[in-house]
Amino acid sequence: MLVHKSQSGGGRPLCLVRLYVAVSVTIAANSQICAILNHIFLSYKQNIIFLYPLCDNEFEDYICRYIFYAIGQIFKIRNAMDIENTQHKLDWGKIKINEGKHRDKNVIWLSFIKDFKIIEQIKQMLPAKWSQSKKCWYVFDNRANRFKLGLEDKPIGTELMNSISPVNKTEFEKFLNMLTLKAYSANTVRSYSTEFAQLLQILKNIPVSGLSPQKLQSYFLYCIKVLNLSENTVHSRINAVKFYYEQVLHKDKMFIDIPRPKIPLQLPKALNKREVQKIFEVTQNSKHRLILKLCYGMGLRVSEIINLKIEHIDSERMVVLVKNAKGKKDRMVKLPESVLEELRSYYKEYLPKIYLFEGSGGMPYSIRSVQNVFKLAMNKARIRKRVGIHGLRHSYATHLLETGTDISLIQKLLGHNQIKTTLIYTQIADKQITGIRSPLDNL
């Protein structure tokens, strides 16, 4: 439409440049015009092959491609600015936020005096819906919406919370308060709360504060024999219940006679260098490939890669700050030189604002999404090993050890408290074992 005004070969690139300039100037002036131009751009983007006959040579073809890419980046920046401005402009003092249920779904109610400006701002920021029966706006109660509204994550699900008897709800609140006072991490609070709530769910109307060591031992036997829980899960459940009796009720001798199941000593599951390379090769999406490369290249946990912020990357010193990692510890890791240009290209393409890898609404990329990216890459690479994305971290440590890196430095890079945790990698990176010739080979 706008491009077809010029019919002569020499005027075509100039017309495109004028379109680009017009969009650039208009974009800050009027949101409605911006929306119209955005629609025009998307129409041309979907049918960009229609533009090619207008290009007589490679230079004009390059101009077309570049301008459409540039326009796309402008709209991406503008959309990000609109969302950010909406969050700042919205007068939260006029909005009352309440949690509740609607049609058997957990929702967050947004109550305010009717104001079309507030309605538009809310709809731009959130996937809000109107309830005709309640005469109120609402959003579904999920992590993304709680993040946008500045609400804390729930330690346990609503269904599990509702299953706790009123007799024990006060004790559960005391349990949560003590975890908060001790400043435990969000993951620990979530884990402990879930494990403790499982006990309260089984107890029903029996007060948890009155259980004897014998009753607790019977419960843990039930977890092993009936529920078939793994040794690690039982350990986690014992830790949560132990925290309640020792830290909340101050009963220090409750667990003296309660044994713990022996945890099997398992070696880390690592990939060899060729397998790691194949995973990168089959991952076509630039964002997904960069996530996997940084997990391996810096030995990051999945929770660390999704919480990595742009400000944590120092490209001059070629180091990355891993902030508030496991155990609430910070550490510095080396930024791989081979990934620097790819990192810069990714930033120009995706324009993240706070987190390096962002999902919907500017939230950190979800752990489940990263795990699915790795799983898909493993399937495409036809690697049959049963390894999760944490295997990239194990591979990082193993390959460092195989190339002669000092074990104490690997401990520092991985953020281990004790050297014995890092020493386990010596059992899978031992060149003496791989260099042994089996007697069978000598027959």
Given the residues 148, 288, 293, 301, the one annotated as active site: 301
Smallest CA-to-CA distance from 237 within 253, 225, 252, 224 is with 224
Decide if 390 is catalytic: yes
Instruction: Judge if 158-248 and 273-432 fold alike in CATH terms.
Output: no
Give the up-direction half-sphere exposure of residue 201: CA atoms within 13 A in the CB hemisphere. 14
What pLDDT is recorded for position 23? 47
The residues that bridge with 111 in the sheet, in sequence order, are: 96
Decide if 326 is catalytic: yes
Taking the C-alpha atoms of residue 136 and residue 119, their distance in angstroms, rounded to an integer, is 11
What pLDDT is recorded for position 200? 94
The torsion angle over the Cα atoms of residues 175, 179, 185 and 186, rounded to 10 degrees, is 40
What pLDDT is recorded for position 253? 80
CATH class of 273-432: mainly alpha
Domain boundaries, the chain: 3-89, 92-142, 158-248, 273-432
pLDDT tens digit string along 363-398?
A: 888 898 999 999 999 999 999 999 999 999 999 999
Taking the C-alpha atoms of residue 51 and residue 70, their distance in angstroms, rounded to an integer, is 16
Non-local (6+) Cβ contacts of 82 within 8 A are 31, 124
What pLDDT is recorded for position 76? 53
Decide if 416 is catalytic: yes
**Residue 207 predicted with pLDDT over 90:** yes
pLDDT tens digit string along 252-306?
A: 888 888 889 888 888 999 999 999 999 999 999 999 999 999 999 999 999 999 9
**What average pLDDT does the chain have?**
81
Given the residues 154, 190, 251, 326, the one annotated as active site: 326
Taking the C-alpha atoms of residue 236 and residue 2, their distance in angstroms, rounded to an integer, is 64
Query: C-alpha distances in angstroms, 249 versus 186, 245, 271?
Result: 22, 5, 46
pLDDT tens digit string along 26-36?
A: 444 444 445 54
Q: How confident is the model at residue 434 (pLDDT cuts 50, 70, 90)?
A: confident
| pLDDT top residue among 2 and 408 | 408
Q: How confident is the model at residue 53 (pLDDT cuts 50, 70, 90)?
A: very low
Smallest CA-to-CA distance from 300 within 336, 282, 325 is with 325
The CATH number, out of the four listed (1.20.120.420, 1.10.340.30, 1.10.150.130, 3.90.550.10), of the domain defined by the range 158-248? 1.10.150.130
Q: How confident is the model at residue 338 (pLDDT cuts 50, 70, 90)?
A: very high
Decide if 20 is catalytic: no
Non-local (6+) Cβ contacts of 125 within 8 A are 83, 86, 87, 90, 148
Decide if 102 is catalytic: no
Q: How confident is the model at residue 74 (pLDDT cuts 50, 70, 90)?
A: low
For CA atoms 287, 289, 293, 295, give the dihedral sign: positive
| pLDDT top residue among 12 and 333 | 333
Given the residues 393, 394, 396, 399, the one annotated as active site: 393
Smallest CA-to-CA distance from 47 within 64, 30, 62 is with 64
Pick from 112-126, 396-410, 415-429: least confident: 112-126
Decide if 103 is catalytic: no
